[in-house]
Amino acid sequence: MTRATLLTVTAPTRPASADEHGADRAAGDAGFVLADFGAPQVRITDLGITRGDGVFETIAVIDGHPQALELHLGRLAHSAALLDLPEPDAAVWREAVLAGVADYRSRNGDGGELFAKLILTRGIEGEGRPSGWVFVDEGEDFSQQRLGIRVVTLDRGYRHDVAETSPWLLAGAKSLSYATNRAAGREAARRGADDVIFVSSDGYALEGPTSNVIVLADGVVRTPQTDQGILAGTTQAAVFDFFEERGYPTEYRRISADELRDAEALWLVSSVRQAAPITALDDREYPVDAALTADLNAYLLARTDLEHHHHHH
Amino acid sequence: MTRATLLTVTAPTRPASADEHGADRAAGDAGFVLADFGAPQVRITDLGITRGDGVFETIAVIDGHPQALELHLGRLAHSAALLDLPEPDAAVWREAVLAGVADYRSRNGDGGELFAKLILTRGIEGEGRPSGWVFVDEGEDFSQQRLGIRVVTLDRGYRHDVAETSPWLLAGAKSLSYATNRAAGREAARRGADDVIFVSSDGYALEGPTSNVIVLADGVVRTPQTDQGILAGTTQAAVFDFFEERGYPTEYRRISADELRDAEALWLVSSVRQAAPITALDDREYPVDAALTADLNAYLLARTDLEHHHHHH
């Protein structure tokens, strides 16, 4: 039974000139088309599969609302720029996400937590034209993880300043080359844990494989500053809003692995799972303020981002 | 015009038990089928595309002969093990490569340099069954690069011992997560160079993004030892054979970036391009012994690997 909605984004990136744009898309061409989720869609020579050469975003969709859509579109563009890909056409991707969500809900009903995944690749080798897809499906059930997760720290192997010294390592880009993130997850499972916090080779706390770290210590809520090859978190920004509304100071700065261990409370936050409180980091146990975390997740799930849609055409 | 041959490997990995094997493949089922190279073959939720979660090999095919086929199959299995993938069924992949080459040549004639690419992914998310493909196509024309290439060194960001200290970083696995290798190639082009030698963060010469480094100094031919997260080179092994037959001692050991710069001659060697002599490394120029390199490439292209085919069934 195929329930998911798949769209092929036929015009995923902005043309170099207005003329080219005119040639690329006829009037009435939205730049995306419905496709068959159950059928193969990717050519075997697409660089997305042969080289993991592309970028992605995963967006939570709550009651039909794609959360932090503009932040995700901005991050897609940022990742694409780090990979020297052409600029994604934000208007096309935005409308594709909304159309995908509408199609999914028209077929499957309005309830539940969904997600939209956006994939932009460098395209078929030799053709010089990026490929794009959006798919919308039901999210995994993260209700248990929102009550608590066990986490281990793993060395990411890079110094904290690697994004500045070696930009070709693509630290901070949400690329399709995520095999090491998956391997870190398997290593965590071998150690009896649910997730990972990466630490730089010189001892700074960084991020999870697919999440940001929130640290509460001395009454201040902090997250590692993003100039360390860390993905700027769309959910982390909302978490800071939540705590600021409750009077907590918030701060971006370098956080040593030792500080992490000495924290009062820790969360991993991400778009679809939202906030998962950490009950154990390596061999240290943490008490969880269940009421605070429940409030946080209620806040995150209720977000409607009073965003304006900026149309560039 | 589609000339390439594509095969879907329907039984890419070895079953956990004989019973399972019986259930998986009927008598007369080779474990692979011809597929349409021009049509999409990969589902959008295959972890090969969404996470670069898989491994690959590229094999040169000269006059119908897949070079170092057994070494490549061995390395595919090694990469799969590093990614905790099930063991590839070598018999199936071997026969798929041979069938693909035969099909290509039956349609396109016998001449020229071809390549076979083997792709094994973790499969469609949630299905727990790996995906596999083999495709055979004409190789790029590397005749100019076999006369000389300009190379820059780039910091790979990892210490030389990262494969031991942080196996989850998958150093030494030929994974589909090659976006950083592609980014390094673009950085080289920005610097006016053709290719890259990666250097560890602690100053050791490692490998190219898709090649091994051969260093001639003081009459000895060396390559960086592979316990530094370096892919064991199938072509590099043949290059050592070539030099040993001519009386050069050969050696695997750590080579500092300084030693690299002080070498008499350098090559990058790989399966399809074979041996490319380095005419410049960063700002230093190297003389090329054109006759020696021509002999080396003639030797590499003439290999017929007197290998026995080991059938496990």
Cβ–Cβ under 8 Å, residues B83 and B52: no
**Å between B131 CA and nearest CA of chain A:** 12
CB pair distance less than 8 Å for A44 and B45: no
Q: Is A106 labelled a binding residue?
A: no
**Å between A250 CA and nearest CA of chain B:** 31
Q: Which SS3 state, helix, strand or coil, does residue B133 take?
A: strand
Burial label for B287, CB within 10 Å (0-12, 13-18, 19+), is exposed
Give the gyration radius of chain B's Cα atoms: 20
Top-confidence residue, B95 or A303: B95
Stated as kind and residue range, the H or E segment containing A253 is: strand A250-253
pLDDT tens for residues B215-265?
999 999 999 998 898 988 999 999 999 999 999 999 999 999 999 999 999
Interface of B with A in 13-72 (CB under 8 A): 37, 39-54, 56
CB pair distance less than 8 Å for A83 and B179: yes
Q: Is B106 an interface residue toward A (CB < 8 Å)?
A: no
Phi, psi of A56 (to 5 degrees): -150, 165
HSE at residue A124, side-chain half, CA atoms within 13 A, is: 11
For residue A245, how many other CB atoms are within 10 A of its CB? 9
Measure the CA–CA gap between A187 and A197, rounded to whole angstroms: 12
**Which residues on chain B are in Cβ contact (under 8 Å) with A179?**
51-54, 83, 170, 173, 175-177
Cβ–Cβ under 8 Å, residues A206 and A162: no
Stated as kind and residue range, the H or E segment containing A185 is: helix A179-190
- What percent of the residues of chain A are helix, what percent strand, and what percent coil, each to the nearest 5? 30, 30, 40
Measure the CA–CA gap between B28 and A115, rounded to whole angstroms: 43
**All domains in chain A, ordered by first residue:** 5-18+25-138 (3.30.470.10), 145-302 (3.20.10.10)
Query: Which amino acid is present at A226?
Result: T
Reference A275, options A305, A246, A297, A242; nearest CA is A297
CB pair distance less than 8 Å for B56 and A40: no
**Mean pLDDT, residues B265-279 taken together:** 97
A98: tokens are 């909304």
CB pair distance less than 8 Å for B51 and A154: no
Bridge partners for B133 per DSSP: B8, B119
* pLDDT at position B310: 37
Top-confidence residue, A1 or B12: B12
Cβ–Cβ under 8 Å, residues A284 and A150: no
In our burial notation (b when 16+ CB lie closer than 10 A, e otherwise), range B65-79 reads bbbbbbbbbbbbbbb
Q: Which residues contact A134 (CB under 8 A, 6 or more apart)?
A: A6, A7, A9, A32, A93, A96, A97, A100, A116, A117, A118, A119
Q: Is B279 labelled a binding residue?
A: no
Phi, psi of B100 (to 5 degrees): -65, -45
* pLDDT at position B308: 38
Greatest CA separation for chain B:
61
* pLDDT at position B307: 45
Cβ–Cβ under 8 Å, residues B165 and B172: no
**Which residues on chain A are in Cβ contact (under 8 Å) with B173?**
179
**Å between B281 CA and nearest CA of chain A:** 18
Interface of B with A in 195-224 (CB under 8 A): 201
* pLDDT at position B22: 47
| Lookup result for tokens 């026995």 | B308
Cβ–Cβ under 8 Å, residues A54 and A122: yes
Stated as kind and residue range, the H or E segment containing A35 is: strand A32-35
Q: Is B117 labelled a binding residue?
A: no
**Percentage above 90 pLDDT, chain B:** 87
| C-alpha B300: how far from chain center | 15
* pLDDT at position B24: 61
Could you tell me the pLDDT band of residue B132, with boundaries at 50, 70 and 90? Answer: very high
CA distances from B276 to A2, B145, B235, B280 (A): 50, 6, 12, 12
Could you tell me the pLDDT band of residue B26, with boundaries at 50, 70 and 90? Answer: confident
Record the pTM.
Answer: 0.94
Phi, psi of A88 (to 5 degrees): -60, 145
Q: What is the mean pLDDT of chain B?
A: 93
DSSP B89-122: -HHHHHHHHHHHHHHHHHHH-S-SEEEEEEEEE-
**Mean pLDDT, residues B171-185 taken together:** 96
For residue A219, how many other CB atoms are within 10 A of its CB? 9
**Percentage above 70 pLDDT, chain B:** 94
Q: Which residues contact A179 (CB under 8 A, 6 or more apart)?
A: A52, B51, B52, B53, B54, B83, B170, B173, B175, B176, B177
pLDDT tens for residues B299-310?
999 987 654 333
Cβ–Cβ under 8 Å, residues A297 and A239: no
* pLDDT at position A309: 39
| pLDDT-wise least confident of A21-25, A167-171, B105-109, B187-191 | A21-25
CB pair distance less than 8 Å for B157 and A162: yes
Give per-10-residue mean pLDDT for chain A (313 aa).
88 74 72 96 98 98 95 97 98 98 94 93 96 96 96 96 94 96 98 98 96 97 93 92 97 96 96 97 95 97 62 34
Phi, psi of A95 (to 5 degrees): -70, -35
